[in-house]
Protein backbone atom coordinates (compact mmCIF):
# COMPACT_ATOMS: atom_id res chain seq x y z
CA UNK A 1 0.00 0.00 0.00
CA UNK A 2 2.76 2.46 0.93
CA UNK A 3 4.66 1.55 -2.22
CA UNK A 4 1.58 2.33 -4.34
CA UNK A 5 1.11 5.62 -2.48
CA UNK A 6 4.75 6.57 -3.06
CA UNK A 7 4.52 5.79 -6.79
CA UNK A 8 1.26 7.72 -7.12
CA UNK A 9 2.67 10.72 -5.23
CA UNK A 10 5.86 10.79 -7.32
CA UNK A 11 3.75 10.61 -10.48
CA UNK A 12 1.58 13.51 -9.24
CA UNK A 13 4.69 15.52 -8.38
CA UNK A 14 6.09 15.01 -11.88
CA UNK A 15 2.83 16.19 -13.42
CA UNK A 16 2.69 19.20 -11.13
CA UNK A 17 6.30 20.14 -11.71
CA UNK A 18 5.78 20.07 -15.49
CA UNK A 19 3.44 23.06 -15.02
CA UNK A 20 5.39 24.75 -12.23
CA UNK A 21 7.30 27.73 -13.55
CA UNK A 22 9.92 26.05 -15.77
CA UNK A 23 11.49 29.45 -16.52
CA UNK A 24 12.18 30.21 -12.83
CA UNK A 25 15.78 29.38 -11.84
CA UNK A 26 16.35 27.32 -8.67
CA UNK A 27 15.82 29.38 -5.54
CA UNK A 28 15.89 28.98 -1.77
CA UNK A 29 12.32 29.18 -0.47
CA UNK A 30 10.79 29.05 3.00
CA UNK A 31 7.26 27.62 2.87
CA UNK A 32 4.78 28.09 5.72
CA UNK A 33 1.68 25.94 5.95
CA UNK A 34 -1.05 26.42 8.54
CA UNK A 35 -1.88 23.94 11.28
CA UNK A 36 -5.38 23.78 9.82
CA UNK A 37 -3.88 22.11 6.74
CA UNK A 38 -3.29 19.12 9.02
CA UNK A 39 -6.65 19.38 10.74
CA UNK A 40 -9.72 19.87 8.56
CA UNK A 41 -12.64 21.56 10.28
CA UNK A 42 -15.18 18.96 11.30
CA UNK A 43 -12.62 16.13 11.51
CA UNK A 44 -11.57 14.69 14.85
CA UNK A 45 -8.02 15.63 15.81
CA UNK A 46 -6.36 12.23 15.51
CA UNK A 47 -2.99 11.14 14.21
CA UNK A 48 -4.79 9.19 11.47
CA UNK A 49 -6.66 12.29 10.25
CA UNK A 50 -3.51 14.41 10.48
CA UNK A 51 -1.55 11.87 8.47
CA UNK A 52 -4.29 11.71 5.84
CA UNK A 53 -4.22 15.50 5.48
CA UNK A 54 -0.40 15.54 5.42
CA UNK A 55 -0.30 13.00 2.59
CA UNK A 56 -2.70 15.18 0.60
CA UNK A 57 -0.33 18.11 1.13
CA UNK A 58 2.85 16.26 0.10
CA UNK A 59 2.56 16.64 -3.71
CA UNK A 60 2.17 20.43 -3.45
CA UNK A 61 5.38 20.80 -1.42
CA UNK A 62 7.35 18.28 -3.45
CA UNK A 63 6.37 20.05 -6.69
CA UNK A 64 8.58 22.97 -5.61
CA UNK A 65 11.50 20.65 -4.86
CA UNK A 66 10.96 18.78 -8.12
CA UNK A 67 11.28 22.11 -9.94
CA UNK A 68 14.78 22.41 -8.48
CA UNK A 69 14.09 24.75 -5.57
CA UNK A 70 15.62 24.36 -2.11
CA UNK A 71 12.76 24.27 0.42
CA UNK A 72 12.57 24.74 4.17
CA UNK A 73 9.11 23.94 5.51
CA UNK A 74 7.53 25.44 8.60
CA UNK A 75 4.05 24.79 9.93
CA UNK A 76 1.39 26.07 12.29
CA UNK A 77 0.07 24.23 15.33
CA UNK A 78 -3.10 26.06 16.40
CA UNK A 79 -5.49 23.07 16.51
CA UNK A 80 -2.87 20.68 17.83
CA UNK A 81 -1.43 22.84 20.61
CA UNK A 82 -4.94 23.77 21.73
CA UNK A 83 -5.92 20.11 21.93
CA UNK A 84 -2.77 19.33 23.92
CA UNK A 85 -3.67 22.18 26.29
CA UNK A 86 -7.06 20.58 26.89
CA UNK A 87 -5.44 17.25 27.69
CA UNK A 88 -2.73 18.70 29.95
CA UNK A 89 -4.07 21.79 31.65
CA UNK A 90 -1.05 22.04 33.96
CA UNK A 91 1.48 22.27 31.10
CA UNK A 92 2.71 25.65 29.90
CA UNK A 93 2.43 26.68 26.26
CA UNK A 94 6.19 26.65 25.64
CA UNK A 95 6.23 22.95 26.59
CA UNK A 96 3.06 22.28 24.60
CA UNK A 97 4.62 24.09 21.64
CA UNK A 98 7.64 21.81 21.76
CA UNK A 99 5.39 18.76 22.07
CA UNK A 100 3.31 19.86 19.08
CA UNK A 101 6.49 20.22 17.00
CA UNK A 102 7.37 16.62 17.79
CA UNK A 103 3.84 15.41 17.06
CA UNK A 104 3.42 17.29 13.77
CA UNK A 105 7.03 16.66 12.75
CA UNK A 106 6.45 12.94 13.17
CA UNK A 107 3.34 13.08 10.99
CA UNK A 108 5.07 15.16 8.30
CA UNK A 109 8.15 12.93 8.29
CA UNK A 110 5.98 9.85 7.90
CA UNK A 111 4.00 11.43 5.05
CA UNK A 112 7.08 12.56 3.12
CA UNK A 113 8.99 9.34 3.76
CA UNK A 114 5.99 7.39 2.42
CA UNK A 115 6.50 9.41 -0.77
CA UNK A 116 10.19 8.48 -0.87
CA UNK A 117 11.61 11.72 0.55
CA UNK A 118 13.44 11.89 3.88
CA UNK A 119 12.58 14.68 6.34
CA UNK A 120 14.60 16.24 9.15
CA UNK A 121 12.25 17.86 11.65
CA UNK A 122 14.08 20.16 14.08
CA UNK A 123 12.47 21.10 17.40
CA UNK A 124 13.25 24.80 17.65
CA UNK A 125 13.01 27.50 20.31
CA UNK A 126 12.04 31.04 19.36
CA UNK A 127 13.26 33.94 21.48
CA UNK A 128 10.69 36.64 22.29
CA UNK A 129 10.63 39.76 24.47
CA UNK A 130 8.90 38.93 27.75
CA UNK A 131 7.70 42.55 27.82
CA UNK A 132 6.06 42.38 24.37
CA UNK A 133 2.73 44.25 24.34
CA UNK A 134 1.15 41.21 22.66
CA UNK A 135 0.80 39.69 26.15
CA UNK A 136 -1.78 42.40 26.92
CA UNK A 137 -3.95 41.54 23.89
CA UNK A 138 -4.05 37.81 23.02
CA UNK A 139 -4.88 37.20 19.35
CA UNK A 140 -3.59 33.72 18.48
CA UNK A 141 -6.38 31.16 18.00
CA UNK A 142 -5.69 27.73 19.49
CA UNK A 143 -7.72 24.59 19.92
CA UNK A 144 -11.14 23.59 18.61
CA UNK A 145 -14.10 25.84 17.79
CA UNK A 146 -17.05 26.28 20.18
CA UNK A 147 -20.55 27.68 20.15
CA UNK A 148 -21.10 30.87 22.14
CA UNK A 149 -22.56 29.27 25.28
CA UNK A 150 -19.89 26.57 25.51
CA UNK A 151 -17.13 29.12 24.90
CA UNK A 152 -18.53 31.41 27.58
CA UNK A 153 -18.70 28.57 30.08
CA UNK A 154 -15.10 27.50 29.36
CA UNK A 155 -13.87 31.09 29.66
CA UNK A 156 -15.48 31.43 33.09
CA UNK A 157 -14.41 27.98 34.29
CA UNK A 158 -10.81 27.97 33.04
CA UNK A 159 -10.04 31.71 32.91
CA UNK A 160 -9.53 31.61 29.15
CA UNK A 161 -9.63 34.54 26.77
CA UNK A 162 -12.17 33.76 24.05
CA UNK A 163 -12.69 35.58 20.75
CA UNK A 164 -14.96 35.07 17.78
CA UNK A 165 -13.55 33.12 14.83
CA UNK A 166 -16.02 33.40 11.96
CA UNK A 167 -19.35 32.01 13.15
CA UNK A 168 -17.69 30.17 16.05
CA UNK A 169 -15.56 31.03 19.08
CA UNK A 170 -12.06 29.87 20.03
CA UNK A 171 -9.51 30.33 22.76
CA UNK A 172 -6.81 32.92 22.10
CA UNK A 173 -3.37 33.29 23.66
CA UNK A 174 -0.59 35.86 23.41
CA UNK A 175 1.47 35.88 20.20
CA UNK A 176 4.64 37.97 20.73
CA UNK A 177 6.99 38.94 17.91
CA UNK A 178 9.83 36.47 17.27
CA UNK A 179 13.32 37.87 17.76
CA UNK A 180 15.52 34.86 16.93
CA UNK A 181 15.21 31.16 16.17
CA UNK A 182 17.80 29.53 18.39
CA UNK A 183 18.35 26.37 16.34
CA UNK A 184 18.40 28.07 12.95
CA UNK A 185 22.08 27.25 12.38
CA UNK A 186 21.18 23.55 12.35
CA UNK A 187 18.71 24.17 9.51
CA UNK A 188 21.23 26.38 7.72
CA UNK A 189 23.88 23.65 7.89
CA UNK A 190 21.54 21.11 6.31
CA UNK A 191 20.57 23.50 3.50
CA UNK A 192 24.12 24.65 2.74
CA UNK A 193 25.32 21.04 2.61
CA UNK A 194 22.54 20.13 0.17
CA UNK A 195 20.72 17.75 2.47
CA UNK A 196 18.71 15.60 0.05
CA UNK A 197 15.62 15.47 2.27
CA UNK A 198 13.17 18.12 3.42
CA UNK A 199 14.15 20.41 6.30
CA UNK A 200 11.32 21.27 8.73
CA UNK A 201 11.93 23.95 11.37
CA UNK A 202 10.19 26.63 13.40
CA UNK A 203 7.04 24.53 13.70
CA UNK A 204 4.19 26.28 15.49
CA UNK A 205 6.35 29.41 15.46
CA UNK A 206 8.87 27.62 17.68
CA UNK A 207 8.63 27.01 21.43
CA UNK A 208 8.64 30.55 22.91
CA UNK A 209 11.48 31.39 25.28
CA UNK A 210 13.08 34.48 26.75
CA UNK A 211 16.32 35.24 28.59
CA UNK A 212 16.05 36.00 32.29
CA UNK A 213 19.34 36.84 34.05
CA UNK A 214 21.18 34.91 31.35
CA UNK A 215 19.00 31.78 31.52
CA UNK A 216 16.70 30.70 28.72
CA UNK A 217 13.22 30.16 30.16
CA UNK A 218 9.89 29.22 28.63
CA UNK A 219 7.18 31.81 27.98
CA UNK A 220 3.41 31.29 28.05
CA UNK A 221 2.54 32.10 24.42
CA UNK A 222 2.22 30.76 20.89
CA UNK A 223 4.38 32.55 18.31
CA UNK A 224 2.79 33.11 14.91
CA UNK A 225 4.30 30.64 12.46
CA UNK A 226 4.19 33.15 9.57
CA UNK A 227 6.18 35.71 11.57
CA UNK A 228 8.74 33.04 12.46
CA UNK A 229 8.79 31.89 8.82
CA UNK A 230 9.53 35.44 7.66
CA UNK A 231 12.33 35.75 10.22
CA UNK A 232 13.89 32.43 9.14
CA UNK A 233 13.59 33.41 5.46
CA UNK A 234 15.47 36.66 6.10
CA UNK A 235 18.16 35.04 8.23
CA UNK A 236 18.66 32.19 5.73
CA UNK A 237 18.86 34.73 2.87
CA UNK A 238 16.03 32.97 1.08
CA UNK A 239 14.92 34.25 -2.31
CA UNK A 240 11.26 33.82 -1.49
CA UNK A 241 8.71 33.12 1.21
CA UNK A 242 5.46 31.26 0.46
CA UNK A 243 2.52 31.26 2.86
CA UNK A 244 0.01 28.55 2.02
CA UNK A 245 -3.59 29.08 3.11
CA UNK A 246 -6.98 27.45 2.71
CA UNK A 247 -8.51 30.56 1.13
CA UNK A 248 -6.30 31.88 -1.66
CA UNK A 249 -4.33 35.11 -1.78
CA UNK A 250 -5.06 38.71 -0.72
CA UNK A 251 -8.47 40.01 -1.71
CA UNK A 252 -10.20 43.37 -1.93
CA UNK A 253 -13.76 43.01 -0.59
CA UNK A 254 -13.40 39.27 -0.07
CA UNK A 255 -16.70 37.41 -0.43
CA UNK A 256 -18.56 40.40 -1.89
CA UNK A 257 -19.91 40.82 -5.45
CA UNK A 258 -17.09 43.23 -6.35
CA UNK A 259 -14.42 41.13 -4.62
CA UNK A 260 -11.21 40.50 -6.55
CA UNK A 261 -7.87 38.89 -5.80
CA UNK A 262 -4.58 40.75 -6.06
CA UNK A 263 -2.08 39.20 -8.45
CA UNK A 264 0.94 41.27 -7.39
CA UNK A 265 1.25 44.10 -4.88
CA UNK A 266 3.88 46.21 -3.16
CA UNK A 267 4.32 46.49 0.61
CA UNK A 268 3.69 50.23 0.16
CA UNK A 269 0.19 49.59 -1.21
CA UNK A 270 -0.71 47.10 1.51
CA UNK A 271 0.53 49.34 4.32
CA UNK A 272 -1.18 52.46 2.97
CA UNK A 273 -4.55 50.67 2.95
CA UNK A 274 -3.93 48.75 6.18
CA UNK A 275 -4.85 45.59 4.30
CA UNK A 276 -5.62 42.67 6.57
CA UNK A 277 -5.67 44.65 9.82
CA UNK A 278 -9.38 43.92 10.29
CA UNK A 279 -8.48 40.21 10.47
CA UNK A 280 -5.82 39.89 13.23
CA UNK A 281 -6.51 36.20 13.69
CA UNK A 282 -6.28 35.11 10.06
CA UNK A 283 -5.05 37.08 7.03
CA UNK A 284 -3.58 39.99 9.00
CA UNK A 285 -0.50 38.13 10.34
CA UNK A 286 0.12 36.58 6.91
CA UNK A 287 0.21 39.97 5.19
CA UNK A 288 2.40 41.41 7.95
CA UNK A 289 4.82 38.49 7.60
CA UNK A 290 5.00 38.87 3.82
CA UNK A 291 5.72 42.59 4.16
CA UNK A 292 8.29 41.95 6.88
CA UNK A 293 10.23 39.51 4.71
CA UNK A 294 10.18 41.60 1.52
CA UNK A 295 11.15 44.85 3.27
CA UNK A 296 13.69 43.22 5.57
CA UNK A 297 15.45 41.03 3.03
CA UNK A 298 18.93 41.92 1.87
CA UNK A 299 18.02 40.70 -1.63
CA UNK A 300 16.58 43.39 -3.95
CA UNK A 301 14.41 40.83 -5.75
CA UNK A 302 12.96 39.25 -2.59
CA UNK A 303 9.34 38.16 -2.91
CA UNK A 304 6.59 36.60 -0.86
CA UNK A 305 3.52 34.77 -2.10
CA UNK A 306 0.25 34.12 -0.29
CA UNK A 307 -1.93 31.47 -1.91
CA UNK A 308 -4.03 28.36 -1.50
CA UNK A 309 -2.31 25.10 -0.63
CA UNK A 310 -4.10 23.39 -3.52
CA UNK A 311 -2.61 25.94 -5.94
CA UNK A 312 1.00 25.54 -4.77
CA UNK A 313 2.25 24.32 -8.17
CA UNK A 314 0.84 27.44 -9.88
CA UNK A 315 1.84 30.14 -7.40
CA UNK A 316 5.33 30.94 -8.67
CA UNK A 317 4.11 31.37 -12.24
CA UNK A 318 1.68 34.06 -11.06
CA UNK A 319 -1.33 32.06 -12.27
CA UNK A 320 -2.73 31.88 -8.73
CA UNK A 321 -2.26 33.64 -5.40
CA UNK A 322 -0.80 37.06 -4.56
CA UNK A 323 2.86 37.99 -4.96
CA UNK A 324 4.26 40.69 -2.67
CA UNK A 325 7.40 42.39 -4.00
CA UNK A 326 9.00 45.81 -4.25
CA UNK A 327 8.47 46.43 -7.96
CA UNK A 328 4.88 46.24 -9.26
CA UNK A 329 3.37 48.49 -11.98
CA UNK A 330 1.03 51.00 -10.29
CA UNK A 331 1.74 49.18 -6.99
CA UNK A 332 -0.94 46.53 -7.64
CA UNK A 333 -2.22 44.24 -10.38
CA UNK A 334 -5.31 42.01 -10.28
CA UNK A 335 -6.28 38.54 -11.39
CA UNK A 336 -9.56 39.91 -12.73
CA UNK A 337 -10.60 43.31 -14.07
CA UNK A 338 -12.24 45.54 -11.43
CA UNK A 339 -15.88 46.52 -11.70
CA UNK A 340 -16.21 50.09 -13.03
CA UNK A 341 -17.72 51.44 -9.82
CA UNK A 342 -15.21 49.74 -7.52
CA UNK A 343 -12.16 51.36 -5.98
CA UNK A 344 -9.57 49.43 -3.96
CA UNK A 345 -9.28 49.98 -0.24
Selected catalytic residue, list 286, 307, 321, 323: 286
Rounded distance between C-alpha atoms, residue 199 and residue 266, angstroms: 29
**CA dist., res. 33 & res. 318, Å (int):** 19
Give the separation between CA 33 and CA 229, rounded to whole angstroms. 10
Cα dist. 102→75, 106, 127, 157 in Å?
12, 6, 19, 30
DSSP 268: H
- Of the candidates 82, 97, 225, 240, the residue annotated as catalytic is 225
Nearest to 70 by CA among 254, 170, 198: 198
The upper half-sphere exposure of residue 189, i.e. CA atoms within 13 Å in the direction of its Cβ, equals 6
SS3 234: helix
Nearest to 199 by CA among 132, 264, 115, 123: 123
| 271 is an active site residue | no
User: Which candidate in 36, 68, 163, 268 is catalytic?
Assistant: 36
Please count the other Cβ atoms lying within 10 Å of the Cβ belonging to residue 275.
Answer: 22
Q: Which of 35, 76, 105, 206 is catalytic?
A: 35
310: annotated active-site residue:
no
Q: How far apart are CA 302 and CA 312, in angstroms?
A: 18
35 labelled catalytic? yes
8 Å CB contact between 29 and 71: yes
CA distance 338 to 202: 38
Active site residue 286: yes
Tell me how far CA of residue 260 lies from CA of 6, 225, 248, 270, 285, in angstroms: 38, 26, 11, 15, 20
What angle (nearest 5°) sits at the alpha carbon of residue 149, between those of residues 148 and 152?
Answer: 85
36 annotated active-site: yes
Q: Which of 76, 140, 276, 284 is catalytic?
A: 140
User: Which residues does the annotation mark as catalytic?
Assistant: 35-36, 140, 225, 286
Amino acid sequence: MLARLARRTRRTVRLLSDDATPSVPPQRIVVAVGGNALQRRGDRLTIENMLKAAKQMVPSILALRQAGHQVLLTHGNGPQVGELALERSAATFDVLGAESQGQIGYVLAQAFQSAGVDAACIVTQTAVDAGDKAFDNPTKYVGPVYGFKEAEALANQLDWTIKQDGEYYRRVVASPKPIAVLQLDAARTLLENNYPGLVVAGGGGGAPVSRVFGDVVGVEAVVDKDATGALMARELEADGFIILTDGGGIWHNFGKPDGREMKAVTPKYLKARKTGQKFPGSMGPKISAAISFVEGSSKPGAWAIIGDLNDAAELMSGAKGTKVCRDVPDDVTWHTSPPEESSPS
